[in-house]
Amino acid sequence: MKSSARAGDFRCLGRTVGILRYIISFYAENGQDALIVKAADILDSFNYYTAEQNADQLQYCLRNAKAIFQYKPDEFKDKVFDEIKAWMEKSE
């Protein structure tokens, strides 16, 4: 399934949170495999920024993770989503 958003919509969002939601929704709309790749990237970032003790970037990762679960269809199942959920619970 292709995203219903247009490139111009992306430019009009203006805020980081809006852009983040746009990006995550794009991955979710393009299938489970696409969202798994993005989720794995977020998980990798959680690991890296935890080791670096970078609180600001960990908060950014947490916002990304929350967006994953906001747009992830219930039928998308993979262990990477479980791992991110565990990171979120530890972070909050």
Predicted local distance difference test score (pLDDT) of residue 82: 96
Q: Which residues of the chain have pLDDT under 50?
A: 1-14
Question: For the whole prediction, is pTM greater than 0.85?
Answer: no
- Domain count along the chain: 1
Q: Indicate the angle between helix axes 32-52 and 79-91, nearest 10 degrees.
A: 40
For residue 6, count other CB atoms closer than 10 A to its CB. 9
- What region, left, alpha or beta, does residue 77 occupy, with left being phi > 0 and alpha being psi -120 to 50 degrees? beta
Residue at 2 is within a domain = no
Residue at 67 is within a domain = yes
Residue at 1 is within a domain = no
CA 26, 28, 29 angle in degrees (round to 5)? 65
| Boundaries of domain holding 64 | 7-91
